[in-house]
Amino acid sequence: MIRSGRGGKSFRVVAILALLGAAAFPLYWMFVTSTTPSSELFAADARLIPKPSEIGVYREAFGGTSVTTWVRNSAIVAVGTTVLSIALAIFPAYALSRFRFRGMGVVGFGLFITQMLPEAMLVVPLYAIFGDLALLNTLSGLILANSAFTVPVITWILKGAIDGVPIDIEEAARIDGCSRLDIVLGVVLPLVAPTLAAAAVIAFFHGWNEYIFAQTLISDQDLRTASVGLAGFVGELSTPVHTVMAIGLMYTLPAVIFYLFVQRYVVAGMTAGSVKG
Amino acid sequence: MASIKLDRVTRTFGTKTAVNNVSLEVPDREFLVLLGPSGCGKSTLLRMLAGLESVSSGEIHLDQRRVDQLPPSARDMAFVFQSYALYPHMTVRRNITFPLIMREFKWWFHLPIVGGMAKRKIEESPNVSDLVGRTAKILALTEMMDRFPRTLSGGQRQRVALGRAMVRQPQVFLMDEPLSNLDAKLRMSMRAEIIKLHREVGGTFVYVTHDQVEAMTMGTKIALLRDGVMQQFGTPREIYLNPANTFVARFIGTPPMNLIEGRLEEGALRIGEGVFALPPHLAAVAHGNQAHVLVGIRPNSLTIAAEGEGTLAGKVALVEHVGAESVIDVRLDHATTAHREEGEGRNEVMITESGYSDLRANDTVRVRIDLTDVVFFSPDSGLRLRPEPRGATPHPAS
């Protein structure tokens, strides 16, 4: 039980601030580092306050590199992965939840098996296949490769949520004249909206952060994603740390904004009140 | 409007037969109650009518139309679920309008903005909004049309579910224990409301319940099932007065019918030490039938009496006061009873008396039997014994 009263409340405020600080500090540290000149980077007394005079590093980052293109490519890949994976996962998830068919266990287990194979192992065969299919050097190819990893996870997550939708509601819809497709799109999906949002978060971040495929399957400079572009700064002899931090920050912010946008949908309790338990 | 005909309807799940060879015919505008204990197949039968469950063999006809091969939406039946099954993401108005929207549904209604606009257009069209408005008024839901199901009480949700069924103006209303989640008081008022609905809206009602009081008060016809087999089909009065077998006798009536072992002897009935002269209509049953019988006596045909002819001696075991009447359990000295399926109380009978009984446990009493409404059953088959020449077809006991 959480204690109420003034003491309890202030304790909670302090605890929340501490957690928030721990989560936000790396971002702040990135910002501070990005405004620290290279010469001061390894000074004994690290600075904690950003240096406004060094803010020009952001202009440099935008002007001197293709960071806007990279972030745009990353966004295309992330959004594409999200849309494709959810679209592909909904129907198998529904089928696994509602139908009994021969080989059902094998299908379910097969989805798990795909999660056991590391991406690095699949890069080479995937490269060969994508070469044949003319998917190398395309963002759609990258979206496809990423989705192959997110679809099984999302299928299982959605299956779990659909299991929780009372069958009575679906039967009522059948009697009211819904086809199976109408039921999935019009009744089941709205009821699993919170899980759908959570699945979207998983797919989006997978697409946004993915590195190995983006590095291997894309060689065209203009199609690079931010993860690859950022890694390109790490040189053999020197690394412009403050530029990397500036770009890193720009790479992080869209993802944070996406999460803030989606998280309000991640609320439970949508089905409360439909069926008396 | 529609009559319903079930012709040898059977449903098996693997090796288990949930509904076994059920045939019945209900004319239009009847209120059929499917009654029976848990697991007797009554819900399965209802779901087969609705099309939610397929029929293993047999046929279902609505008027002259065979419907058992049709999908649920093509049968023109509405279904009210025990769990209400409202759409939680829709307002009360949308829940009630939903079946009407589905009638004009196009694939592009699934599209986010356009679809929403199209659905709203149907919802706001004069015909639909008028019908929904009237339905809401009948069910006293007008005030809560824009609320979501989760904010409603059980009774209100049940009314929304009824509303969703009513707007379709179906030929048949199917209801699967719609009141079992409500408290006793609300259940009584909803019971009255459904009876009223049946009178006003018309249509044939099929109502599933395990509550025999509900069945007796609401139904114009009752089909009593046990282990998937129909035990008896008839009006509540027929079933109450003329139970087809001992199962029906035990199931119907609160408290249920007393079954006392007796012996038929030349125009008389012997129970223990008591010998009772049979009235003519019972003497006709006795003629030609076996000597050992189970005597079915309603608790209100037994009375506590002073010493005298035609009485049985016993001791009071328990007195229960239920307001206007008292239920008195009497342990008979020289008789064996068979109405309790569990082994206990093998010589107890239940007697109802109006008013507040002053009897106490262990009082010595005598019990008088009014033989007018007594029925006889065979102790072996459990079937009702009827006069030889004229008599309805017997129903199997199990």
Residue A273 lies in a domain: no
Q: Do B102 and A185 touch (CB under 8 A)?
A: no
Q: DSSP states of chain A as a string? A: ----HHHHHHHHHHHHHHHHHHHHHHHHHHHHHHTS-GGGTT-SS---S--GGGTHHHHHHHHHS-HHHHHHHHHHHHHHHHHHHHHHHHHHHHHHHH---TTHHHHHHHHHHHHHS-HHHHHHHHHHHHHHTT-TT-HHHHHHHHHHHHHHHHHHHHHHHHHTS-HHHHHHHHHTT--HHHIIIIIIHHHTHHHHHHHHHHHHHHHHH--HHHHHH---GGG--HHHHHHTT--SS---HHHHHHHHHHHHHHHHHHHHHHHTT----TTTTTS--
Closest by Cβ to B149, choosing from A177, A190, A274: A274
Measured CA to CA, the distance from residue B384 to residue B234 in angstroms comes to 15
Q: Do B81 and A271 touch (CB under 8 A)?
A: no
Quick one: A9 and A65 in the same domain?
no
Binned at pLDDT 50, 70 and 90, residue A273 comes out as very low
Residue range B258-282, pLDDT digits in tens: 999 888 887 788 888 888 888 888 8
Residue range A109-134, pLDDT digits in tens: 888 888 888 888 889 999 999 999 99
Quick one: A151 and A242 in the same domain?
yes
- Residue type, position B1, single letter: M
Task: Write A86-92 long-range contacts (CB < 8 A, 24+).
Answer: A86/A154, A86/A196, A86/A199, A86/A200, A86/A203, A88/A147, A88/A151, A89/A150, A89/A151, A89/A154, A89/A155, A89/A158, A89/A199, A90/A158, A90/A184, A90/A189, A91/A184, A92/A155
B311, β-bridge pairs: B368
Binned at pLDDT 50, 70 and 90, residue A267 comes out as low
Longest dimension (CA), chain B: 85
Quick one: A65 and A17 in the same domain?
no
Q: Do B102 and A176 touch (CB under 8 A)?
A: yes
Residue A44 lies in a domain: no
CATH code reported for the domain at B4-240: 3.40.50.300
Residue A42 lies in a domain: no
Measured between beta carbons, which residues in chain B are less than 8 angstroms from residue A173?
Answer: 87
Residue range B304-329, pLDDT digits in tens: 887 776 788 888 988 998 888 999 99
Average pLDDT estimate for A59-82: 87
For chain B, what percent of residues have pLDDT higher than 90? 51
- CB count in 10 Å sphere of residue B302: 22
Shortest distance, CA A156 to any CA of chain B (angstroms): 23
* Residue the block writes with tokens 């049953």: B285
Q: What is the CA radius of gyration of chain A?
A: 23
Q: Is residue B278 within 8 Å of B269, Cβ to Cβ? A: yes
Shortest distance, CA B103 to any CA of chain A (angstroms): 7
> Distance between alpha carbon B75 and the CA centroid of its chain, in Å?
24
- pLDDT value at B226 more than 80: yes
Is the backbone peptide bond immediately before B255 cis, with ω within 30 degrees of 0? yes
Q: What's the token pair of residue A234?
A: 């790490």
Interface test with B, best of A171, A176, A184, A267 (most B CBs within 10 A): A176
Residue with the larger pLDDT of the pair B308 and B374: B374
Instruction: Return the pLDDT at B290.
Output: 64
CA torsion through residues A145, A146, A149, A153, sign = negative
Shortest distance, CA A190 to any CA of chain B (angstroms): 7
- pLDDT value at B396 more than 60: no
Q: How far is residue B1 from each of residues A167, A260, B61, B131, B375, measured CA to CA in Å?
A: 29, 55, 13, 19, 38
Numbered ranges of CATH 2.40.50.140 in chain B: 256-385
Q: DSSP states of B123-161 as a string? A: HHSHHHHHHHHHHHHHTT-GGGTTS-GGGS-HHHHHHHH
B64, β-bridge pairs: none
Average pLDDT estimate for B130-150: 92
Task: State which residue of chain A sits closest to B74, comparing Cα positions.
Answer: A177
Q: What is the CA radius of gyration of chain B?
A: 25
Task: State which residue of chain A sits closest to B47, comparing Cα positions.
Answer: A171
Q: Do A276 and B157 touch (CB under 8 A)?
A: yes
* Residue the block writes with tokens 């971002």: A27
Numbered ranges of CATH 3.40.50.300 in chain B: 4-240
Q: Is residue A45 packed enough to be buried (19+ CB in 10 Å), middle (13-18) or exposed (0-12)?
A: exposed
Measured CA to CA, the distance from residue A1 to residue B15 in angstroms comes to 51
Binned at pLDDT 50, 70 and 90, residue A277 comes out as very low
B208, β-bridge pairs: B34, B176
Rounded to 5°, the CA angle B92-B98-B99 comes to: 130
Quick one: A118 and A230 in the same domain?
yes
* Residue the block writes with tokens 């929340």: A16
Residue range B6-15, pLDDT digits in tens: 999 999 998 9
CA torsion through residues A171, A175, A178, A181, sign = positive
Q: DSSP states of B80-115 as a string? A: E-TT----TTS-HHHHHHHHHHHHT--GGGGSHHHH
> How many residue contacts between A and B have a Cβ separation below 8 Å?
89
Residue A199 lies in a domain: yes
Strand ranges across the sheet with B268-271: B274-277, B268-271, B258-265, B292-297, B375-377, B384-385
A7 Cβ contact partners less than 8 Å away, ≥ 6 residues apart: none
Binned at pLDDT 50, 70 and 90, residue B342 comes out as low
Closest by Cβ to A190, choosing from B73, B83, B89: B89
Residue A15 lies in a domain: yes
Shortest distance, CA B150 to any CA of chain A (angstroms): 4
Q: Do A273 and B164 touch (CB under 8 A)?
A: no
Quick one: A97 and A20 in the same domain?
no
Residue of B269, B272, B291 whose CA lies nearest to B281: B269
Hey, is the C-beta of A270 within 8 angstroms of any chain B C-beta? Answer: yes
- CB count in 10 Å sphere of residue B265: 12
Binned at pLDDT 50, 70 and 90, residue A276 comes out as very low
State which residues form the domain around A9: 1-34
Binned at pLDDT 50, 70 and 90, residue A167 comes out as very high
Instruction: Return the pLDDT at B1.
Output: 62
Quick one: A85 and A212 in the same domain?
yes
**ipTM score here?**
0.83
Instruction: Return the pLDDT at B287.
Output: 65
Measured CA to CA, the distance from residue B135 to residue B154 in angstroms comes to 18
- pLDDT value at B38 more than 60: yes
- pLDDT value at A215 more than 50: yes
Q: Do A187 and B87 touch (CB under 8 A)?
A: yes
Interface test with A, best of B48, B49, B54, B89 (most A CBs within 10 A): B89
Q: What is the CATH number of the domain that holds A118?
A: 1.10.3720.10
State the total domains in chain A.
2
Shortest distance, CA B130 to any CA of chain A (angstroms): 19
Shortest distance, CA B102 to any CA of chain A (angstroms): 6
Residue A84 lies in a domain: yes
Quick one: A4 and A125 in the same domain?
no
Closest by Cβ to B72, choosing from A174, A186, A272: A174
Q: Do A171 and B89 touch (CB under 8 A)?
A: no
B304 Cβ contact partners less than 8 Å away, ≥ 6 residues apart: B328, B330, B351, B353, B357, B359, B365, B366, B367, B368
Measured between beta carbons, which residues in chain B are less than 8 angstroms from residue A166?
Answer: 83, 85
Residue A67 lies in a domain: yes
pTM: 0.81
Measured CA to CA, the distance from residue A158 to residue B36 in angstroms comes to 39
Measured CA to CA, the distance from residue B57 to residue B21 in angstroms comes to 8
Crossing angle for the helix pair A67-98 and A104-116, to the nearest 10 degrees: 150
Q: Do B152 and A273 touch (CB under 8 A)?
A: yes
Over chain B, what is the mean pLDDT? 88
Instruction: Return the pLDDT at B392.
Output: 45
Measured CA to CA, the distance from residue B363 to residue A143 in angstroms comes to 88
Quick one: A11 and A81 in the same domain?
no
Residue B269 DSSP label: E
- Residue type, position A277, single letter: G
Hey, is the C-beta of A176 within 8 angstroms of any chain B C-beta? Answer: yes
Shortest distance, CA A166 to any CA of chain B (angstroms): 8
Q: Is residue B163 packed enough to be buried (19+ CB in 10 Å), middle (13-18) or exposed (0-12)?
A: buried
Measured CA to CA, the distance from residue A106 to residue A92 in angstroms comes to 13
Could you tell me which CATH class the domain B256-385 is placed in?
mainly beta
Interface test with B, best of A195, A270, A274 (most B CBs within 10 A): A274
Q: Do A276 and B83 touch (CB under 8 A)?
A: yes
Quick one: A99 and A188 in the same domain?
yes
Measured between beta carbons, which residues in chain B are less than 8 angstroms from residue A272?
Answer: 88, 150
